Structure 1
Amino acid sequence: MKRAEARRWLALAVLGLAAAGILGLFLWLRAGEAPADGPAPPASAASTRGARCLRARDAPPPTLGSIAGRVADAAGSPVAGALVCASASGGASGLTPFDLGEPTCAPAGEDGRYQIADLSPARWTIFASAPGHRPASYTSPAPDRARWLDLRQGEARTSVDLTLVRGGVEVRGHVKDVSGGPIAGALVMIHGFLGSHQGAAVTRSDAEGSFSAWTEEGYCLARATADGYAEGSQHGMAPGPPLEISMTPGSVIEGRVVEAGSGAPIAGATVRPGMAQRWGPGEVKPVSSDAEGRFRIPGLPPGRYKPTARAAGGHGQARASVVLGIGQTASEVVIEMHPASSVAGRVEVAPGGGPCASGSVTLFHEGSGWLPTVLGADGSARFEGVLPGSYQVVVLCQDHASEPAYPAVEVGEADIEGLVWTVRAGLSLRGRVVDREDKPVRAMVHASPTDMGRMQPMQPGPVGQSDDDGRFVLRGLLPGKHRVMAHSNDHIPPEPVMVEVVDERAPEITLVMDSGGRVEGTVTDEDRRPVAGADVMLSAQQPGWGGPPRKSLADGTFVIKGVAPGAYRIWAMQGGMPMRAPGQAGGGDPGVAVTVKAGAAARVSLVVERQNGEIHGRVVDGSSRPVADAFVNVQREPEGAGEPGAPAPPPPPPESMGPYAPVLTDPDGEFVIGNLGRGTYTVQAQRRGGGRAAVEHVEVGRTVTLTIQETGTVSGAVSSPGGAPPDQFTIRVTGREAPFFRNESFSFTDGAWTMSDLPAGRYELAADAPEGTATGEVTLAQGEQRSGVVLTLAGRVALRGQVVSLEDGAPMAGVTVHAYPRAGGMAPSPVQQHEVTDGAGHFHLDRVPRGPLALMLMPADPMSSAFDAAMIPVDVQPGAETDVGRLFMAKRRMKHDEPPGDLGFAVEPPRSPMDVAMRPHKVVEVRRDGPAAAAGLQVGDVIVSVDGHDVTGKLGYLVGPLLRVPAGTRVTLGLSRGARVALVAAAMPPPPGVGQGGIEAAPGPP
């Protein structure tokens, strides 16, 4: 597995960053909330603005309303006992399960009718579920087709009808606290792979903590809430092994919101916990301050928080972050409110189409974060507590096309009213998703323009769902060429269909999904006992299949559907590492070969070693006193880890608890982690009040002591040459020798900052503000309190360059260039620092930080482009502008879905994607009898060129695309020792069988 992992790192590092951007999209589209852990938008003006009236106006309590309707099946018959729920939702997207807050529910009667009473005026998402049926959510009639409804004060809304289709599968599970005890009465929401488009199945845990509900077959996510606990979640497959949801006692932040200077209480301010670091799952909703300015935020997972508050005319943030342990309360947190502006506008459909009632507007500020809000029924958007600065705008409107760009909003001291952002009705594309026999397939369908430069940043493109007849409609497309894709749980993803949409007369399209074959089997240990919950992985030796891992059931069985015909490798994993076969000594790739034929089931039996090992231990502090509130986890190490000459795997993030479920230390600081296979593990302990410890290379059966040493503090100031300190800035701390990263924002502190709870070590410091950036270094001894560290901002500068082809130097137009800082991590969003190359390949970025940057180059159409994306390091020099000259993009050497060839060696993997371009490409493994061994490549060789192209220093990013070649391709490597070796890529080797270090393959059931 070491060879495969190292081989994939170079290929996936850049693409992983793009995937991270997609994840960020889904996070910011959540129901109109500001980011829980993001910094507040920064300001460029000093805090000496004139005083304003910050106190929110008193409002009378709202008159409650109700929602009523009928639940029926597809034939119109009532679904008695169906549970109908209403969840207050921003409704900006409906793309993520976290759009749905804790619901209010009511059962349907024998006639299918229901009523949900005592609902506040708000935007509500309505969904229903019942045993033997698939969940469904309410969609308003055409032309709106909104997936929610707006309830006015005292309104009694009727005829909110839902249709439940028979089918689905049952999901079972348990809700327990972190000590293992059951949690009764927990509300559990289960979402299928269609997310909030599909609604959710809702149930409650019984006295034993058990729950059951029916949902869509395939991937599912279960969320649990209970009084006194932080929200818990767990994902899995339906059907699959029971979902085990672990919950921690909820922590609490209490405090006051006051006016800066006077200390007068601010009522009605919206307060968010401002999560700076997060150790547990869950989503925490904002609260409002009362008449005395007091607030209470319950149900928080353990972690570090920095509460923020916004109100009409004001914005504030706590001066210092708060660290909460399990069930701990932080009281008397004070948030001082400073004058800020309001920004208001509306989204209209042009020309003359009226308001957009279903969407969102997000304001972005350079280098610091974002502020989203959902639209009202009249298309209005309002932002409170916005500080001066230049804000970019992203507009989304359901079923409409956004403009590629909108004018920036320049915020000063005065409120801004009457802004108008237009969207276009766009065009529609209709079609069907069917299988090879023309039977309908339920799938998610997505369209995106082939020219990504025509989309505003973070615009997802139209997303739809085919119905039970396989029909779908995608709305809001811009004229031009689009790529249409579909995804289903149990079919092979079809090749994307290219469609040119000119007007509404576009012909209907058909996406044909092949059901392919399937793989069935069992996972058992050497005593033939079933292994439940193992991740069963299927890796294509030929292209055509992909998807999430399937988990083995309680009886060890598994089924993987929708597999393209071809040869594959299949293996079981636990804790992020392959499970070994009995007696396996290590080395070689895991798994067994399996051949899948169309319409047939391939049967395999995976036999693995016993999973009965345990690691015992104790967690103590620096004075050897037991730590009773630490979470402990283990991470399986690759075979041979810790042996002389073995490469160190990339370390996990410091706040990551690893793939195994964590355990809590007892009052004596002791713990036991079981169900482990043979091998060595890294054991990690993390105290919720700050501090962590880790011990590597711990063998199963050993007892280990982890010592959490006293942490230290670094504090100082951010200054601007010749000017006042910035009102808003961010400090990032990155470990230079050990994995550590922390990002924290500061507001109205006169430039002062403090970063606490730091273990001993050497750190890189980075400050980021609208006025500029700064970096520095500090070495911290155990428990040291370092003060007086001054970071002096250097102004931002312009950056220009040209993107050309590596092979012939031809200019490349339409390439999107994103800028990230290499120092201190990837904090700024690429939305603020991006540009598209012109016809001559030139680009120009106006305001980038000085120092080391990474430029990510993305072709206009990444899927069909002949070029790979690239992450290129550059250094921005002082001065008005830096010209980085020509930047090279390498052509792909293999087709998009072509299987890679095997060169028979692996290089040392980078520690991070930012590191991929700069480190020497040192060979750490040469596979015996492979092409590299035959050519004379040796462990320890350093590759300096590939086919005559220099790959040293800042050109190191070229190694990935130059070495991704199909079988039969000749590659010449230049080495630092002066030699040149020629290799011919071979076909990927078949997986080992019994006696070759693989998992035993046994005959499957008849």
Structure 2
Amino acid sequence: MRARTWWWAAVLVLGLGMAVVSSRAPRAHAPSSNEHFRATDTGPSGTRFTKQLATNAESSLRITGVVRDARGPVAGVQVSASRVDADTLSARLFPEDPLAMQSDAWMLRQADPSYLEQESVRLVETREGAAPEFARTATAADGSFALEGLPPGAFSLWAIGDTGATVQPDVQAGSDGVTLTLEEGVFISGMVVEQYRLVPIPGALVTVVHEAGSRYFDALADARGRFRVGPLPPGRYLKVASAKGWVTTARREEVWLDANVDVMLYLQPQLRLEGVVLTSEGRPASGVNVHLVSQVDSDDTRTTRSDGRGRFVFDAVPQTEYELWARSEDETAFGATLAIPPDSVALRMKPVLFMEGTVRDEQGTPLKGVHLDFQGQGQGDRTSPTAVTDEAGRYRVGPLLKSGTRVRLRGEHLLDALEDIELSMPHAGPWDFTLRRAPSVEGLVVDTEGTPLPGIEVKLERSQGAPKATGYFRSDLDAVRSDDAGRFVVDGEEGGASHILIDAPGFRAVKQAVVIPSAGIRVVLERGASVSGTVVDAKGQPMRLVDLQLWDTASRSETPRTTSPDKAGAFSFQGLKAGHYVVEAHVQRPGIQHAVSQTVDLEERTQARVTLRFEEGRTIQGRTIDTEGQPVAGVRVQACPTLEDLSAWRTTGPSCRFPAGDGVLSGADGHFILKHLTAPRHQLIARKDSHGFAPARSRGGTPDLETLLVTTGEEDLQLVLERRPRLRGQVVSEEGAPLPCSVGLWGPSAHFPDGTFDLPLPVDGYQRLVVSAKGFLDLWHDFNASPGQDVDLGVLRMARGRTVRVLVQDERTRAPLAGVDVVIAAHNEPPASDRIRLPSPFEGTLDEEGGTDMDGLPRARISLSVRRAQSMIVQEVTVEANQETVTVRLPDPSR
């Protein structure tokens, strides 16, 4: 786990409370008790976290200008100049190099939704990644400013005042007369809470990061866990929350903010995970390195060493699932297990295994050069092993760290095979495999100039009607990549007519008829036509954080090509055939998806250029009110186009089922503003947790069941929300004492310290309430909610559960099976009612005593079924109503 520098502690001493943050440089005066706190760049020692270039002979340029808003020049605005370099957050997470963005590593990072958040946490925690600031000043009475001592180059200028903000990129040092126009500014507010109980976390530090500009803005959560940051320039922002004793968390949505938003940030407590390393005989193993890696963040690995008693400890880990593993120093034993803190775990090592054998064809002839991939054997710094057969068809591989593996065998002119192997089961003799001979297609991939093309994926369409061989790994398309000389050999299942398929970036897709088998095939790839251009906003400024799609209107069933523009807003689609296309760019803004498109007709080998300009669109505004006409604040309002107004080339449209947290917020007076509406009609949706939207009672549009249809020219919009019925109750123990508990209905459970709950009912009709409390059996309560009527469940009495210690031993030796994976399931026994709720089966590792605690069991006669995780041999045991410990003996499946 990464080391944490608790730089936020210095900020805490400045005082708790909501914060409005405009920049990360010190103010000229300290904030008064009634003034909003502005975070600084200084740490406990006064050193700046934001990098600042040392002054030198070249740092003699200046930028001058004026800051204005709609009324004229503005005094007292903070103006600064910064630059995104290779070490900043945006440069690391969003590289400009087109080749880097096409790499396999980059694509894998983008496919993992948590990657950017985890990387951002690492940078923000250590206060790295912030754009270096080169100069700062405040505007004079006439709005003028001068930034001095700048080196040559382009800078981003930030102007942040009390009422507005703006950022202007690519301003050259030495420029005079620059005009910075303040926009309305964005406020990001919300709450920091504990992830599972939703309890507020006072004093948490929230860092809001402008993604494109790598600027950090800080705020402290108040006593209710609430925070507020702003005004900030419009843009896309990452939110990072941290607090002492909690795991730092990042939240990122691909939404371009130009309106105020309210978000929920969740933190997990830091816990301790401890345990013991055991030898294969069950004795403590001292001096062994133990590794821990999160199942969520596989890039974050921690290592510790077992002491003289084999014990180990990992401190300050979040409550998530981890894999632990250890190997002996001589690498003859290995063990791995899963754990969730604050568990105490026994990690039992087993002797490592080797596999050897021979690979032959169906006639028994040894096969040379067959590749064997042993999947599922990677661990930490060890990748899954591979082997290649020698002249005699023999292979040997090891050490294999885990008892189960999947072996894939592949070779030229052979059908691939895939087989699951259980190494823990007895096996006589070597592991031999037999492969079928396969007809092949051999050839060369070149461009139109005859240059061989390496690394091109070549697929062979499966022969029509060819049967799939039992036990063989086949797909409808067999694929290989051309070698450095552009050559390829791709195998088929049987002879006959087929097709070579190639769809490589930058080239036109190819479907070339071939006969299986054949050799000397030459596949020529044409670069084809292309569409390139730029994406700009309504002011003509480049836009980078948008999604681009290219639709082939003649093939509506096809998935569109996608890409992203670079820093200058430039993009390109290459390798296109002649035809009619639509280029579309869209960006998610609060409450609406803003889109722009342009049609393009391409002829063979033509290069078309387009400019996609996001127009402002129209703005509508209105109020959110209740059935009595009183304003309702904090309502989320969203607009989406109707199905009739969707573009003809799109097969699907944006959904009006927007996720929680999306939409523009109505203010204290119920007023809301929706911008960037470009379609002639839009469907409006309003949502608030404790209310339901009533389109039929709303005004300014045409209602349907769930939305209000609003057309161009509609005014005086009033969206009516009906108060949802409430669900109330009091949870107590068997003795009648109030019981701290968690209550869940449809969404996440909420924690109630005194057991008294009051929740809005999201729907009417039959529902189930689930109540949980430590040491008690879960309580399920079914009820029926009638429209418009509150439901009072009165007093809910919870029954105490019990914990049974289950000890598992070897049937022959009576030795505890410490560190062994087992499955234990509880079952009701007559005359117990089937309505007695039992906990989920335990699937995990026994502790160092060879036992585990089964929590949440009823005080009634039950039975337990116990088996090893990789065995079907089950032992049944009865547990009496007052029994606290039970011993089970299991046979060794290897005997």
Flag whether TM exceeds 0.5 (same fold).
no
The TM-score bracket by the shorter chain reads 0.3 to 0.5
When Rg is computed on C-alpha atoms for both structures, the one with the higher figure is 2
The answer to which structure, 1 or 2, has the higher relative contact order (CA under 8 A, 6+ apart) is: 1
TM-score by length of 2: 0.39
TM-score by length of 1: 0.35
